[in-house]
Amino acid sequence: MDEHLPLKGIRVLELGTLLAGPFSGRLLGDFGAEVIKIEAPDKVDPLRDWGGKKEDVGLWWPIQSRNKKSITLNLRVTEGQKIFKELVQESDIIIENFRPGTMEKWNLSYEELSQINPRIIMARTSGYGQTGPYKDRAGFGSVGEAMGGIRYVTGFPDRPPSRIGISIGDTLAALFATIGILTALNERHTSGRGQIVDTAIYESVFSVMESLVPDYLLANYVRERMGNILPNVAPSNIYYTKDETYIVIGANSDSVFKRLCKAMGNSSLCDHPKFNSHIARGENQHELDSIIEKWTKENESKVILELLHEYGVPSGLIYSIEDIVKDPHYKEREMIIEKNHPKLGKFPMPGVVPKLSRTPGEVRKVGAETVGKDNEDIYQRLLNYDDDQLSIYKSNKVI
């Protein structure tokens, strides 16, 4: 079934817990990598209990751990470390998101593992990276978001900094780690050697913070919280409508703004000195937003959106999850899919991103409900352990 998948033949050992590391594993698994999720036999990934619950099943785990195999292994003991090194010999990638120094404490440093397998790539995601004065600090995604700058600019100016409603710091770190992994895989074709992919959560957040650095260092400007607008980018806001809902309109480029003016029946607006250029609109964005919202308040959202779509003006409702699951575009793009869950039956989840035209990714199964479900498959097929060896390791709490 997975013959077409572009990462078929790549084996990943996933050691991380919760979000950043496992999300990288999920992305690689979606495109065919054999991802082996390793949990301690006495301390499983807390994500198993996260999210809403149905029939005592955590609803986050089946998504985050989809397409992965589940084994147990105690890396805190010598026997477990020995087994892990055997797995490294048969693998391409290690994903871990522990505090720096943890792998070294377990005698599993990259230097040692690369002696066993010079082609191994180790993706290391942490709050502050593997070097620097903060490297030993505990670092969750929330702190990375704060120190990366995104929390400072999120929210309204008359209120304290806010958070985005998802774990964006962890997700950004996972995306950058995955880019690093794929880049290292490609480079390995030339050198034949693996390397470390060092991803810090705060740096992953900071890297998407647009022009904050030159704004401050060259123009002495500090971007503050601005609510639903971007400073000096207009019109780009939410607007209240006659049927008491909000729509988003983004028409800040000159050509799109002209189309918006035509849709509003106010073509002369785009020639007004206050609004006839990007800079002018930015300087007068509050006045411009008031003019646009006066128009939207006179019409229902459906009428406005149909008109804006007709004129080619980017616009849309602010979707709740209820809106998303009902939307035909999501359905056509296979962005909400269903896979069988052994306890819950059909289990809905987000589809695969991005879409590849010739070798698309796919979700083949939900995350393993049973801890260590694939112990026999991995240890017997991959390492040729027999039943007696597995029994001894299990009785010694190594697996």
Long-range pairs, 273-282, Cβ under 8 A, ≥24: 278/252, 278/253, 278/254, 279/232, 281/234, 281/235, 281/252, 281/257, 282/231, 282/232, 282/233, 282/234
Tens digits of residue pLDDT in 139-176: 889 999 999 999 999 999 999 999 999 999 999 999 99
**What is residue 79's DSSP assignment?**
H
Mean pLDDT, rounded, of the chain = 95
Helix (H) or strand (E) holding 59: none
For residue 2, the model assigns a pLDDT of 61
From 135, 105, 142, select the one nearest 20 (Cα to Cα): 142
In the chain, the domains with their CATH numbers are 11-207+332-395 (3.40.50.10540), 236-240+246-317 (3.30.1540.10)
Identify the bridge partners of residue 338 per DSSP, sorted by sequence position: 348
- SS3 for 237? strand
Residue 1 has pLDDT above 60, yes or no: no
- Convert 71-101 to b/e letters by CB count within 10 Å (16 or more is b): bbbbbeeeebbebbbebbeebbbbbbbbebe
Amino acid making up residue 106:
W
**pTM (two decimals):** 0.93
Residue 119 has pLDDT above 70, yes or no: yes
For residue 51, the model assigns a pLDDT of 87
Dihedral of CA atoms 251, 255, 261, 266 in degrees, nearest 10, equals 160
Pairing of strands 53-54, 57-58: antiparallel
Active-site residue identified among 30, 92, 170, 289: 170
Q: What is the pLDDT averaged over residues 206-233?
A: 94
Tens digits of residue pLDDT in 22-48: 999 999 999 999 999 999 999 889 999
Token duo for residue 365 = 């199964």
Helix (H) or strand (E) holding 240: strand 236-240
Pairing of strands 246-250, 236-240: antiparallel
- 170 as an active site residue: the answer is yes
Q: What is the pLDDT averaged over residues 352-375?
A: 95
Q: How many helices (H) and strands (E) does the chain have?
A: 17, 13
Tens digits of residue pLDDT in 247-262: 999 999 999 999 999 9
Q: What is the pLDDT averaged over residues 307-316?
A: 97
